[in-house]
Structure formats: structure tokens, C-alpha cells
Structure 1
Amino acid sequence: MNAVETQHLGKRYRRSWALRDCTLAIPAGRVAALVGPNGAGKSTLLQLVVGLTRATSGRLALFGSLVPGSVQALPEVGFVAQGASLYPHLSVEDTMRLARSLNDRWDDAYARARLAAIDIPPGRKVGHLSGGQQSQVALTLALARRPRLLILDEPVSQLDPLARHEFMAVLMSAVAEDGISVLLSSHAVAELQRHCDYLVVLGQGRVQMAGDIDRLLAGHRVFTGPVDEADAVAEVFPVVGDRRAGRQATLLLRSDDTKAPPPGWRSQQTNVEELVLAYLRAPGASVLPGPVRHQDDERRTTA
């Protein structure tokens, strides 16, 4: 089953489209990274998934049939907004009490154990906590709702390296223990390969690339060779990124390791950061496998 599936999804604000023709599928149980420059449509897509806004066109479904923002979908989705978005004048205890009153699935024992493990005093006002502690409180509140899908909008953008590491450690522990699906937007591209196994790249309001990270990396290679032969190589292989300096050219190509480079050229693997940057520099390039319909979904459709 897909945790998130969209078909030709679009969102327009007055005359400007924030998101256009977005078709993708994120399998359940995955940790999916949503990457793109500012203004690419990342927050708009996350708000549509959470149900904070409605689409102008297209279709969006969670776990097969749930409509974002509906009574049925709300308990299934947890959301951590950028900057934690907590009430600074409330204590941590009062914040938990408020969350408990609003959520039928609230796991109070989990929330208290999690905050105690990271030494956050219940009586401390949220506004007196560090940025890292506030982010941990926000993550704890979202996880204590016991959602099936967790949405995070730039959750670590304002954290120092240590706080960022601790935040991701808690998140990955929850994924391992509870098997929840995660969709997070982030500018920290270099770190995504350690934590995420699915990738969605947005550029200019459109999906440029979507798929399993290992498969995307396996389908691309970096060729390095003489600059005067680069054009000839580009005629044989689909080029995504092209860098030329002096006598050497470095080409990021759509190719697997079964295809040997031309004589005089060297082939090597790419990484997530290099792959993402190459596609963002080439707005016309795309790798879009599209939604995958699972066998159990097909059986239900034909039954």
C-alpha cells in the first residue's frame, strides 16, 4: 500500500501555481525525503497531505482511500511544522495536557518516558527551552498521537549539528519500533542518504525525480574524461549534469554500472547530494517512475 499517492495534483494561489501536475507514490513504511529549492512547492505539498489546504486540481489519497483533513484521516497523520510551532508561555506539562485532550490515541506513558529520557522538565515553559529541546517536544507530541504517517516540514533547519543528530536519532528509533511512514522536507541534502530510503525532488512546482534512493543511485553514473570528447559521450548517454574545467569534463549520466565508459573515461558511483543538485540545475530533467499499484490493491480493484 502507498502511504501517499497523488495524481496530477495541483495547487494555485490566485494566478500563480505553487504545485502543478504532481503525480507520485510513496510506499508505506518508508522514510521519504522531499527536496527542492525555496519556492519549489515543498510546503504546499506537505500542507495538502496534512489537510491544511485543498488542492485546486488532481487527486490525493492516504493509505489507499483516506482523504487528507477528513475525520478518518486526521488520527492517522502527525505533523511537525518548521520551527516547532508550540505555545511558548505554556509549560511542557500543560502542552502535553492540551495534546491529550485533543487526541483520542494519545499515549501519555510514551510521551513522558520520551521527554524524561532526554531530560526535558515537565514544569519548564516551552519558551525557556533551547531550539533543540523545543523540536524534541514537538516530535514527541506528534509521535505520542500514534500516527501511521508523520509529516515534518524542515524539522532540523534551525538546529545545531548535535541537536539535529539527536532529533534524527529519536525519529529513526520510532520508525524502527513502530513502522510508521515518514515524509520530511529538508535542505540538508548530504544527510538524507543516512536516514531516508525514498526521494522526491521538486523543482519549479513540479516533481522532477521520485523513487527508491538505491535504485536512483544505481541508475546514474559519473563519467570523467577529456573535455574535447564530452559532446560525443553526451550523444550516446542521457546527460543530467555537465561540468567542464580545463581539459577535464565530469558528466552525470543516466546509466548503470553494466555500461562501460568510452576508452579514456573513468566511471564512478554518484551520491544523493550530487544527484539532487544535478537535477535541480536542470529543471527539464526528470526521473518519474510514477505510482506503483501493489498486488493487493489490484485484487481489491478486480474483485
Structure 2
Amino acid sequence: MSTARPEQHDSPENRPRTDVREPPVAVRVEELTVELPSQERPYAAPLQAVRELDLTVPTGQITALVGANGAGKTTALRTMIGALPWSRGKVEVLGTEMGPARVAVPEGASFVPDSPDYPDRWTARRLARAHGATTPFDQGRFDARLSAHGVPLDRPVGRLSRGQLTQLALSAALARDPRLLILDEPFARLDPLARTELVDELRDLMALGDRTILLSTHDLEGMERFVDRLVVIADGRTVLEGDVEALREELLLLERPRQASDERDTDPSLIGPTTSGDTTSALIAVDDAAGLPPGTVLRRPAVSELVTHCLRAAGASGHETAAPVTTPRRGAE
């Protein structure tokens, strides 16, 4: 068992591993670097949106990709579907190695972008014809889902609300009966009831077996009992990766009375410490949780607490990126 404290690792090969067998993998990303042109200064050097990113999406699980705004989530997802080129690294999706010659979503995968971009004059019917001309497409399922969510089949896309546009994109993706569903911020434009209904729908999809979901989201509270695996990225790099339950066994949330040393952040066992009022909270590895001072409370962290403290440790607020928080990647290598 690794100690789950921030450590320096020069390459993925040097990170702790406890795996024995390699399960099926839907998506594998290794040392991915993506450079994008500067939007503000056209002649400036390209910006590294993703830097030596590593992540694994096991088949049959729901994996959440989370991070602060600008961390590289959307860039990483768009690279996986062939929409963006990359400078270095390897991307494999459903057994297909993506590359410069591969510019389409691999067969068996569906992608829903954070801002679906369809021609304003197209209707849902026109979109269905476009999909059906190139891939297997369940028109009945598409029509029924749109009807259930109040999206007119004949209204131009330009006259749909943002929530209706998201439902249109989701309906088109699900009508292809995907083995891998990649969703970029699917809950962002939905109302609370629609979010709950989508979670239930995705659970039903997973119950069919041999299905995999990879989604980026900021809705961490809603993911508490929904996701199986967590990948946290900061500044284009992976800073935490693992099965949610395994991470919650390796890392505990510590809460204790504020100490003078907390202001200096000198305790190397604390991960992403923060002080509010008279209380300091942080993540701490189970192996480091012995001999703590009186008044210390330990409990299993929520998903949102895992994410926020690891991002704080990684300097996601604009400071220099720290080393990854390392935990065993159980059943993922």
C-alpha cells in the first residue's frame, strides 16, 4: 500500500503499482501533451493545454474527469475522439489507437460536447437523418426521448433553449447505443430534475453490461453515489486517479483545532490543508494517521473533499503545480 502523500515521480513507470491483472480498458491515455494556439496572441508560442496526461478508463465503470476551469478536461476529451491533434503521447479508445489519420469517433463510442454546435436551421429530424446516414441509429428511441423531455422534433436548433440543446445531443448519442459514452459537462445546462433523470438513465445504461461512461463535471455533490472512478487533473496533468472507494480507504479527511504551524504549511503529511475559523482540515494518508494531537477528528472524505483538497495540494488556484498525490491504481493498469 502506498502512502498517498505528495511525492515526486518523473514518469508513470515510477508511480506505485499494486495491480496484478489488467482488466479490459475502454480508454487509455499515456503521456499526452496537447498544444493549442494562443487565442489572444496569434504569433505567440502554442499553449500546452494538456501536459503528459495519463489516465485509464476501465470498461464497465463510470469515470469522472474533474478539475478547475482551464485544467484541460475538454481538451483531453476532444483529443480522445480525434477532434484535436496532439504533440506527444498515445491515445487508445475501444482498442483503436488514435492518431493523425484518425479524425472520427471510433465505432461504438458517442460523444456529447459541452456546447453542442449544430446548424441553427437544422431540426431534430434533420439531425437524425444525418446520424442515420453514417451509423446505426435508433430513430424510435431518439424520438421517444425527445418527446419525454419536451424537445420539438421540427423546431430549428437555433430556437432551442440550452437545456433542450443538451437533451438533443444526449438523445442523438444514446440512439447510437454506444458501448462508450463520453460526456463533457452533461449536467451544466440541465435543471435539477433533468439532472436527476439523466443520472437514473445513465445507471440504466450501465445495467445493460459492457458499457462505459467517461464524463467531465463540476457537479461533485451529485457524483457521490454515481461514479466508480475518479481522475483529477490540474494544469493539464493527472494529480489523482483511482477507484473512488479505494481512494476513500487510502485517504482520510482530518479536522483539528487550528495550530500556529498551520499558517506555515509545514506538515508534509497533510494534503491540501485549509483553515476556516478555528478549524484546519486536510486529507491525510491512512498510514500517516497515527499519533495525531488531541481533538483531531478523522472520517472518510466525500468525493468533493477528495477533489478540492487534491487540487489545493496541486496548486490549482494558480500556483506552481505540485507533484501528484499518489495512490494505488487498483484494477486500472
Following superposition of structure 1 onto structure 2, how do residues 157-168 of structure 1 map, counting pairs within 5 Å?
A: 157-168=188-199
Following superposition of structure 1 onto structure 2, how do residues 169-184 of structure 1 map, counting pairs within 5 Å?
A: 169-177=200-208, 179-184=210-215
Counterpart for residue 82 of structure 1:
114
> 1:207 offset after TM fit, Å?
0.6
> 1:258 offset after TM fit, Å?
8.4
Counterpart for residue 27 of structure 2:
4
Please tell me whether residue 216 in structure 1 is matched to residue 254 in structure 2.
Answer: no
CA contact (8 A) 1:76 1:149 kept: yes
Please tell me whether residue 38 in structure 1 is matched to residue 72 in structure 2.
Answer: no
Following superposition of structure 1 onto structure 2, how do residues 269-288 of structure 1 map, counting pairs within 5 Å?
A: 269-283=300-314, 284-288=322-326
Counterpart for residue 298 of structure 2:
267
SS at match of 1:195: coil
CA distance in 1, matches of 2:126, 2:278: 64
Counterpart for residue 298 of structure 1:
none
Give aligned-pair identity as a percent.
34
Please tell me whether residue 132 in structure 1 is matched to residue 163 in structure 2.
Answer: yes
Higher relative contact order structure (alpha carbons within 8 Å, sequence separation ≥ 6): 2
> 1:62 offset after TM fit, Å?
1.7
SS at match of 2:311: helix
Q: Which amino acid aligns with 1:153?
A: D
**Higher deviation after alignment, 136-145 or 221-230:** 221-230
Given the superposition, is the C-alpha separation of residues 245 and 129 from structure 1 closer, same or farther in structure 2, using an over 3 Å criterion? closer
Q: Deviations over 1:230-257 (max 9, x none)?
A: 66xx988721122335554323212279
CA distance in 1, matches of 2:46, 2:98: 26
Q: Which runs of 5 or more residues in structure 1 are unaligned?
A: 295-303
CA contact (8 A) 2:254 2:282 kept: yes
| Paired residues, number | 291
Q: Which amino acid aligns with 2:106?
A: L
Given the superposition, is the C-alpha separation of residues 256 and 137 from structure 1 closer, same or farther in structure 2, using an over 3 Å criterion? farther
TM-score norm. by structure 2 comes to 0.77
Given the superposition, is the C-alpha separation of residues 210 and 30 from structure 1 closer, same or farther in structure 2, using an over 3 Å criterion? same
**Higher deviation after alignment, 261-270 or 15-24:** 261-270
CA contact (8 A) 1:201 1:210 kept: yes
Q: Which amino acid aligns with 1:124?
A: R
CA contact (8 A) 2:81 2:103 kept: no
- 1:62 pairs with one of 73, 88, 93: 93
Q: Which structure features the higher share of helix residues?
A: 1
CA contact (8 A) 1:18 1:40 kept: yes
Q: Which runs of 5 or more residues in structure 2 are unaligned?
A: 1-23, 37-44, 315-321
Counterpart for residue 283 of structure 2:
252
Given the superposition, is the C-alpha separation of residues 247 and 78 from structure 1 closer, same or farther in structure 2, using an over 3 Å criterion? closer
Q: Which amino acid aligns with 1:94?
A: R
Given the superposition, is the C-alpha separation of residues 73 and 258 from structure 1 closer, same or farther in structure 2, using an over 3 Å criterion? same
**Higher deviation after alignment, 63-72 or 145-154:** 63-72
Given the superposition, is the C-alpha separation of residues 36 and 259 from structure 1 closer, same or farther in structure 2, using an over 3 Å criterion? same
> 1:107 offset after TM fit, Å?
2.1
**Higher deviation after alignment, 237-246 or 190-199:** 237-246
CA contact (8 A) 1:227 1:244 kept: yes
Following superposition of structure 1 onto structure 2, how do residues 93-132 of structure 1 map, counting pairs within 5 Å?
A: 93-103=125-135, 105-132=136-163
CA distance in 1, matches of 2:332, 2:323: 25
Following superposition of structure 1 onto structure 2, how do residues 9-28 of structure 1 map, counting pairs within 5 Å?
A: 9-13=32-36, 14-28=45-59
**Higher deviation after alignment, 218-227 or 44-53:** 218-227
